[in-house]
Structure 1
Amino acid sequence: MDVDGGGGGAAQEEAERRMEGEVRRAVEEAKELQDAAATRVAAASGEEQSMRQRTVALDSTIRRLRASVGAQAVGGLLDPKVAERLEEELQRARCIVADGDASSFLPSKAQGGFVRMFLGPINVRASRKEVQLKVKEEYNSYRDRTALLFLIFPSALLVLRSWLWDGCFPAFPVQLYQAWLLLLYTGLALRENILSINGSDIRPWWIYHHYCAMIMALVSLTWEIKGQPNCAQKQRGVQLFLQWAIMQGVAMLLQNRYQRQRLYTRIALGKAKRMDVVWGETAGVDGQLWLLCPILFIMQGFEAYVGFLLLQTALVGVTSEWQVIFCGILLVLMAVGNFANTVQTLLAKSRFKAKMKRTKGKQELD
């Protein structure tokens, strides 16, 4: 028995020594790995800082050269054709820097309070270009889905109002739609802020427009939906707003179909970045603009009309709640802002086309 016990003790000691040796080797390997990783991170940090300085310096040089080319072209020191060619080459260089992996070394835009309110103080700037492009593709997919819902949701409400609800909207379906609008515009504004931080060229007005739309949707949730008597008169603003939403859905579908193809062409020519996005009036060839612009202007006019109608119903005492006045003012402001932004973009496109025609005419004369 003592022999067996001694043999068992020796086997136990051997197993303990073997296990302790394996654990010691694992601990040593962890320390070596940590030291190697720390050395690697320090070296990468130094390389990253050097790349950041080079990228910022090159970006500054490109901006300085573009300003110099423009000034010399205006002063007559450069031939217009040469100046235009140099401008295109500098723009292509700018797109290479801003659209490639080097873009992660450029200073990022300040993260606004809207993103911090929802996500906290985290950095949403993607360091890899493929991650940035996935964010953009998800944004485009979100717009595609919401365009269809913009058509389906209000259309269903209007049809049910005529067929099932005897010309009078119940409160719950309308408030459900308003809650969906709040979710929709919050999602759009959040995605657009993140895209802007990652180098997209989204115009600030569209983000502000969605802020206004969010506030309007939130306020409309507290707006009591009046029923009988005089239901049709009291809900006239709701009916027109749903009709305007259908028009907006049609415009969004046209934008998503035509304008994205135009952006791909501009990216291939080096005149736009892969992170850029488009809205209805910001890109497109002449045929597309002839189709989109009337729809956009009609939609903006109808939006203003709905806003004025809500203000009128409040002034004559049909529905005098503060929500009616507030939503009416917001709709008018958004319509004016959309109209001004559309006109500004069309004027810029007109000036650019006139410049291209003058350059082409000079080339033909030469």
Structure 2
Amino acid sequence: MGVTTPAGENGHDAERGLAEEASRLADIARELRDSASTLISRTWNEEQALRQRALALDSDLRRLQSAIDSAVKNGSLDPKNAEKMDEELYRTRCVLSDTDVAFLLPSKAHGRFLKMFLGPVDVRAPRKEYQLKVKEEYNKYRDRTAILFLLFPSTLLVLRSWIWNGCFPALPVQLYQAWLLFLYTSLALRENVLRVNGSDIRPWWIYHHYCAMLMALVSLTWEIKGQPDCAYKQRGVQLFLAWAMMQGVAMLLQNRYQRQRLYTRIALGKAKRMDVVWGETAGVQGQLWLLCPILFILQVFEAYVGMLLLRTALVGAVSEWQVIVCGILLVVMAVVNFINTVQTLVAKSRVKAKIKRSKSK
């Protein structure tokens, strides 16, 4: 009695071995925790030191830029030399904003739109490679949506003539309007994220998508009336789909040609890798002869559709409030798009004239 059997000894040994292994793993976990805390603390201190240097350099660049501008206004600095200094300062700022140093500098405010959809979440990517992935995904998304922007309305117009006897059913049109709402919302979200991560997107291009979101949302509540007089009642829908097809053609041309130009500007140090194509307000000399007529026709047609909707509401044929709101939004977007396009052309002509003057001298 009281003698331990071999089976009992083996059981106690196995239990002791498991307890020792659990204790060993717990010690490793505590050691790993302490090492990680030490590393994070050291990294944070080094990051703060680098952040102070980056902020100081950014402040020096701003101060030097202000001094150059003041010297040009006072006449104490030759404009040619000032232009060379400006180019050098821009390249220096690109070194800060187009590398991992950008994470050390204060980011742009997220804005109410991002906070409304995502809440108080920081969407700034910690590494430049992640930021570039966000930009590349945005470009791919624009390419895909440009094709859909062209195919979706053209399919509806073809079916209207061949199958629907000249009268749109409500469901396909409302599905298209729901897709437009999703499209413009996703574009606005992606562009706001790009701005937070250092992309130079013109504010109006984002506001344009806000207006388009509102128009798509309002049009979802717009009753699609059928017979009798279907062609007259749906004239605005038909013109809007025709305008959407033209918009798709313009988007395809811009995505193809302007991105090539953007890559060239990045290689020359005149643009940042996070910059993107500016929608309807950019162009280069080789494509202006092709794009500008399309853009102006598109803007005039957009304003015409808006005025047609307003006239339809005023004469009482279709007096719903949705018609009035969509008409106003189309006119506003057309006018501001036209102003932005003209401003871009004027700026490009000034740059071209400056280059000619420098070559002649």
Do both proteins adopt the same fold according to a TM-score greater than 0.5, normalized to the shorter chain?
yes
**What pairs with 1:161-310 in structure 2 (closer than 5 Å)?**
161-280=160-279, 282-310=281-309
Aligned to 1:313: 312
Matched, 1:69 2:68: yes
Give the unaligned 5+ runs of structure 2: none
Aligned partners of 2:66 and 2:290: how far apart in 1?
36
1:2 Cα deviation (Å)? 6.5
Q: Which residue identity lines up with residue 248 of structure 1 in the other structure?
A: Q
**Which amino acid counterpart does residue 326 of structure 1 have in structure 2?**
V
Q: More deviation in 20-29 or 197-206?
A: 20-29
Q: Secondary structure at the match of 1:304?
A: helix
Query: Does the 8 Å CA contact 2:281/2:340 hold for their aligned counterparts?
Result: no
Q: Distance between the aligned counterparts of 1:95 and 1:293, measured in 2?
A: 30
Residue identity matched to 2:87: E
Paired residues of 2:303 and 2:330 also in contact (CA < 8 A): yes
In structure 2, how many angstroms separate the alpha carbons of the residues matched to 1:356 and 1:64?
Answer: 27
Give the partner amino acid of 2:129: E
CA RMSD, Structure 1 to Structure 2 (Å): 1.5
- Structure 2 letter corresponding to 1:169: F
Q: Is the 8 A contact 1:262 1:283 kept in 2?
A: no
Aligned mates of 1:100, 1:281 — CA distance in 2: 28
Alignment-mate amino acid for residue 21 of structure 2: E
Deviation at residue 250 of structure 1 after TM alignment = 0.5
1:309-357 per-position Cα deviation (integer Å, ceiling 9, x unaligned): 0011111111111111111111111111111111222222222222233
Does structure 2 retain, via aligned residues, the 8 Å contact 1:95–1:273?
A: yes
Q: Look up the equivalent residue of 2:342 and give its one-letter code.
A: V
Q: Which moved more, 1:316-325 or 1:340-349?
A: 340-349
Equivalent pair of 1:244/1:299 in contact (CA under 8 Å): yes
Q: Identity of aligned pairs, percent?
A: 71
- How far did residue 209 of structure 1 move? 0.7
Tell me what 1:351 maps to. Answer: 350
Structure 1 residues not aligned, in runs of 5+? none
- Of 48-57 and 30-39, more deviation after overlay is shown by 48-57
Note if contact 2:166-2:231 (Cα within 8 Å) is conserved in structure 1. yes
Structure 1 contact 281–292 (Cα < 8 Å) conserved: no
State the alpha-carbon separation in 1 of the partners of residues 130 and 115 from structure 2: 20
Q: 1:281 to 1:117 in 2, by over 3 A?
A: closer
Instruction: Indicate the larger mover: 288-297 or 6-15.
Output: 6-15
When normalised by structure 2's length, the TM-score is 0.96
Query: 1:15-51 CA deviation, whole Å, 9 max, x = no partner?
Result: 2222222111111111111111000000111111111
Q: What is the CA-CA distance between 1:280 and the residue it aligns to?
A: 4.7
3-state secondary structure, aligned to 2:316: coil
Contact 2:132–2:273 (CA under 8 A) maintained in structure 1:
yes
Tell me, in whole angstroms, the C-alpha distance in 1 between the residues paired with 2:358 and 2:69.
15
Partner Cα separation in structure 1 for residue 240 and residue 317 of structure 2: 17
Deviation at 1:281, TM superposition (A): 5.1
Moved more, 52-61 or 191-200: 52-61
Amino acid at match of 1:164: I
* Structure 1 CA distance for aligned equivalents of residues 318 and 281 of structure 2: 38
State the TM-score, normalizing by the size of structure 1: 0.95
For residue 29 of structure 1, what is the aligned residue in structure 2?
28
What is the alpha-carbon distance in structure 1 between the residues aligned to residue 121 and residue 176 of structure 2? Answer: 32
Name 2:38's counterpart in structure 1: 39
Contact 2:281 2:337 in 1 (8 A): no
Contact in 1 for aligned 2:282/2:341 (Cα 8 Å): no
